[in-house]
Amino acid sequence: MPKVGMEPVRRRALIDATIAAIGERGSLNVTMAEIAGRAGVSSALAHHYFGGKDDLIQATMRKLLSDLGHDAVRALRRAPTPRARISAVIAVNFSAEQFRAEIVHAWLAFYVEAQKSRELRRLLRVYARRLNSDLMSGLTPLMKRVDALHMAEAIAAMIDGLYIRRALRDGLPNPASAAALVEDYVETKLRRMQAANDENGAPARGVAASPADSEEKKR
Amino acid sequence: MPKVGMEPVRRRALIDATIAAIGERGSLNVTMAEIAGRAGVSSALAHHYFGGKDDLIQATMRKLLSDLGHDAVRALRRAPTPRARISAVIAVNFSAEQFRAEIVHAWLAFYVEAQKSRELRRLLRVYARRLNSDLMSGLTPLMKRVDALHMAEAIAAMIDGLYIRRALRDGLPNPASAAALVEDYVETKLRRMQAANDENGAPARGVAASPADSEEKKR
Amino acid sequence: MPKVGMEPVRRRALIDATIAAIGERGSLNVTMAEIAGRAGVSSALAHHYFGGKDDLIQATMRKLLSDLGHDAVRALRRAPTPRARISAVIAVNFSAEQFRAEIVHAWLAFYVEAQKSRELRRLLRVYARRLNSDLMSGLTPLMKRVDALHMAEAIAAMIDGLYIRRALRDGLPNPASAAALVEDYVETKLRRMQAANDENGAPARGVAASPADSEEKKR
Amino acid sequence: MPKVGMEPVRRRALIDATIAAIGERGSLNVTMAEIAGRAGVSSALAHHYFGGKDDLIQATMRKLLSDLGHDAVRALRRAPTPRARISAVIAVNFSAEQFRAEIVHAWLAFYVEAQKSRELRRLLRVYARRLNSDLMSGLTPLMKRVDALHMAEAIAAMIDGLYIRRALRDGLPNPASAAALVEDYVETKLRRMQAANDENGAPARGVAASPADSEEKKR
DNA sequence: AATGAATGAGCCTTCATTCAT
DNA sequence: AATGAATGAAGGCTCATTCAT
């Protein structure tokens, strides 16, 4: 019994079904029929609302990105200090919601698909830039810009790496321990910088320190 | 006129073609026809030698794993100290050969495919375990076992993460800087442990230190 | 708020939209959705009023036929002589209205579709018979019946042929020159018959004259 | 039991099947499955050899055009005089082979499809130009160029028109009578021109005679 | 009167796979 | 040893059509 105003309902259901399907299959090799089936509709309807498979995939990815974005904004808003901002970024990426197995699988699949799809690559770049700028907003007040850039890169790499390992389900299913690993890295780096600083006024060694780093970053 | 002894030649050519094809497409969505074409043979021949697509994919992955394995063995053999072993592992993973774009793409594609294929998953676990044990062989002499485990995890995550980012070509195409990032992490951790140790005899704080770490690891 | 008495309005709009759509696409491969869209209504409404696509197509063709029929009646009514009747038929078929590109395309499409649809074929036969009888009404007073039949056939063929060429837009987009071509044929034939007649009382040679045509047609 | 060297056999069979299918359906709305079925192969094989439906359609049209072209060349070669050339062109178009019902249907379908397909339109133009130049080669020695152009147009239109009527199967299934109709037109025109010429030296009235036609064409 | 919602059926196309040669 | 020939199965997509509102 058809009702009016179903469009948003169906769109949401189809996107959720897409995530679920990708999560289960582990790749984007899911059929429209399966997605539609999971959403309880015909595949024709999925085409009706999204235009085609690629569009549905893209819409799904946008959903993932915007969800993550919203979570990040919310978390960052509550962070009082630069240091807290860093932790907030880490926490969001390893939150229970974001680290759900199917979400992780979907992300991984998107990374791969991005190789083929120009638009997907663009979306992924948006995410990467945002992650980077979020991290930088916490890092730059604490160290020299060049060090901050390196640390942001390292942190991002660890996050991505832990996602992959999570996807492989092979040893680190625990979001808390994943976050702890990254936090430990950050903490160690910061203390080490502090220590080097304190010791004898000698400049702290940043990440991949450049030969000449005479000027000191104040915090 | 068919030649004899072509089998090993064809097998190699087909596996190389598979890597090349995956590297270009960025995923395992490559047709047997394309692979065979790249290898200069008919797709029927690929089936003849490998049995089927899955088998060819698996053989290709085994090739990747064994190449990496051989490189690792060679590098580790030359490493005189535990610390050098760690660097050797990092160096191998970011060597010019292993960090070639098509190899990186192939690895990423395999990670995804591993979700679906039981055998691929098994192979990937073998690699993960070996990477882990290689790292542990360098780490355990330098710190407590629990810390070593955490660091091994972190290093592995960074390596995987940098691979992903390499695949996306978005900012870190340079193997040297990728390796430097990981090396810096290792170095910072080791110094920090040392420093904490020296300070006042208090036990160094390891990675995600467990509440009770009274006993010291000797080296 | 739905209005009353919309039915005739909608029917006309849908039929016009059908002609326009066919004219643009150049064939009957137009979707109900597009036709309905052009008419500013939903495709469901098109079904509501016409029952189905085939019915809409038929209704459209009937419209075309009846428009042409009305034009023909009007023109013939004004024709004072048999000769004028012939010209009237020609003029109507190449009138600005009937020779509009979209109308021509629609006709051509119908000719093709008639192959499949029994009903469409029937409709086309009605038109053909009417065209024939209109021509015959002008021709029979001027010549023997057998000659009239042949000329009617030839005139009709020329008209159809010129329509096709018009549809292909390749050299004869001009309704006037198309009509002139047919008129010239008629005129030439009539003069030739006249001349043959005058020459020596020998029977005029009709179209594809049969060996024995001794008896003369009176007018 | 697969054999080698089947490609040309299959290609021919598929093109013939395409003509047959179009002939029966009366339009290009034929499925690859049906065509392949008629040719006794799977639809996949049709794709294998032709690439896609459009390509098969085009190949079929090219076959039609080239067959007609060859027939025309052969017939024209045997024509000793200009007048004979005209008759040769007419004869070829209404030959038993070219006027076969399925061939005629295919032609009509192509005319319609040409509206949509750029390539098909191009092919059709080639045919039209060739028909025109063949006719002109017979007409220009017999009359002024402007008259020849008009007559060529008229003849071509009659041919196309008779094809359409043939496709509709409604009264003129006979190739001989179709050809006779066109021949009669040609003959009448030529005699009329002759007569007008002879009468009193006044210039013969050509088709849609232009206001100024002072100079005479000699033959 | 009119439409959004929804679908079944069908078509084109791709591709791994098999087989006879 | 190697391949051309051939296909079954499956997937994306379109579209006419129906139905409840």
Residue pLDDT, tens place only, A166-177: 877 655 468 889
Specify the pLDDT at position D117: 86
Residue C113 lies in a domain: yes
pLDDT per residue over B198-216, tens digit each? 765 554 444 443 333 333 4
**H/E/C letters for each residue in chain B?**
CCCCCCHHHHHHHHHHHHHHHHHHHCCCCCCHHHHHHHHCCCHHHHHHHHCCHHHHHHHHHHHHHHHHHHHHHHHHHCCCCHHHHHHHHHHHHCCCCCCCHHHHHHHHHHHHHCCCCHHHHHHHHHHHHHHHHHHHHHHHHHCCHHHHHHHHHHHHHHHHHHHHHHHCCCCCCCHHHHHHHHHHHHHHHHHHHHHHHHHHCCCCCCCCCCCCCCCCCCC
Residue D14 lies in a domain: yes
D54/B213 Cα distance (integer angstroms): 74
Query: What's the residue count for chain C?
Result: 219
The yes-or-no verdict on residue C135 having pLDDT over 70 is yes
CA distance C14 to chain D (A): 23
The answer for C 65-84 residues in CB contact with D (under 8 A) is none
C11/C18 Cα distance (integer angstroms): 10
CA dist B167 to A11, A22, B96, D66, Å? 31, 20, 14, 52
Measured in whole angstroms, the distance separating CA C54 from the mean position of its chain's CA atoms is 21
Q: What is the mean pLDDT of residues A73-85?
A: 97
What mean pLDDT is reported for chain B?
A: 87
| Touch between C and D (at least 3 CB pairs under 8 Å) | yes
B62 and B41 in contact (C-beta within 8 Å)?
Answer: no
Count: domains in chain C: 1
CA dist B177 to A68, A140, A151, B135, B180, Å? 28, 20, 12, 20, 5
Residue D212 lies in a domain: no
Instruction: Return the closest nucleotide (C1') to the Cα of A54.
Output: F12
Question: Which are the contacts of A140, defined by CB distance < 8 A and separation ≥ 6?
Answer: A82, A148
User: For tokens 């000659």, what's the residue?
Assistant: C147
Secondary structure percentages of chain D, helix, strand, coil, to 5: 75, 0, 25
CA dist B209 to B191, B212, C215, Å? 16, 8, 123
Token representation of residue C106: 């629609």
The yes-or-no verdict on residue C213 having pLDDT over 60 is no
The answer to whether D176 contacts chain C (CB < 8 Å) is no
Confidence of residue A101 (pLDDT cuts 50, 70, 90): confident
Specify the pLDDT at position C169: 64
Instruction: Return the closest nucleotide (C1') to the Cα of B48.
Output: F2
Specify the pLDDT at position C5: 86
The conformation of residue A142, written as its DSSP 8-state character, comes to G
C-alpha neighbours within 13 Å on the C-beta side of residue C108:
36
Confidence of residue B4 (pLDDT cuts 50, 70, 90): confident
Report the nearest residue to nucleotide F7, CA vs C1'.
Answer: D42
A47/D87 Cα distance (integer angstroms): 57
Residue C142 lies in a domain: yes
Q: Which residue has the higher pLDDT, A17 or A211?
A: A17
Token representation of residue D143: 């009359």
Q: What is the pLDDT along chain D (219 residues), one digit of tens a residue?
A: 457 899 999 999 999 999 999 999 889 999 999 999 999 999 999 999 999 999 999 999 999 999 999 999 999 999 999 999 999 999 999 999 999 989 999 998 988 888 888 889 899 888 889 999 999 999 999 999 999 999 999 999 999 999 888 877 655 468 888 999 999 999 999 998 887 777 655 444 444 433 333 344 443
pLDDT per residue over B139-168, tens digit each? 999 999 999 999 999 999 999 999 888 877
Q: What is the CA radius of gyration of chain A?
A: 21
Residue A84 lies in a domain: yes
Residue A212 lies in a domain: no
Token representation of residue A149: 């850039």
B107/B105 Cα distance (integer angstroms): 5
Token representation of residue C86: 């012939």
Indicate which CATH number applies to the domain containing B132.
Answer: 1.10.357.10
Contact B191 A189 (CB under 8 A): no
B131/B124 Cα distance (integer angstroms): 11
Measured in whole angstroms, the distance separating CA C215 from the mean position of its chain's CA atoms is 33
Closest CA to D139 of D152, D127, D155, D130: D152
pLDDT per residue over A63-72, tens digit each? 999 999 999 9
For residue B170, which residues of chain A lie inside 8 Å, CB to CB? 124-125, 128
| Domain encompassing residue A154 | 7-200
Closest Cβ–Cβ partner in A161, A184, A191 for B158: A161
The DSSP annotation for A166-209 comes to: HHTTSS---HHHHHHHHHHHHHHHHHHHHHHHHHHSPPP--TT-
Measured in whole angstroms, the distance separating CA A88 from the mean position of its chain's CA atoms is 12
Q: What is the mean pLDDT of residues C171-197?
A: 86
Residue B191 lies in a domain: yes
Closest CA to D160 of D209, D120, D112, D88: D112
Residue B218 lies in a domain: no
Query: What's the residue count for chain D?
Result: 219
Q: What is the mean pLDDT of residues C28-52?
A: 97
The answer to whether A126 contacts chain B (CB < 8 Å) is no
Specify the pLDDT at position D215: 40
Token representation of residue A66: 């915007």
Specify the pLDDT at position C211: 37
**Which ranges constitute the DSSP H helices of C42-174?**
43-50, 53-77, 82-93, 101-113, 118-139, 145-167
C161/D155 Cα distance (integer angstroms): 9
The answer for D 183-212 residues in CB contact with C (under 8 A) is 183-185, 188-189, 191-192, 195, 207-208
Percent of chain A having pLDDT more than 70? 87
Residues 1-60, chain B: which have Cβ under 7 A from strand F?
A: 2-4, 6-7, 10, 40-45, 48
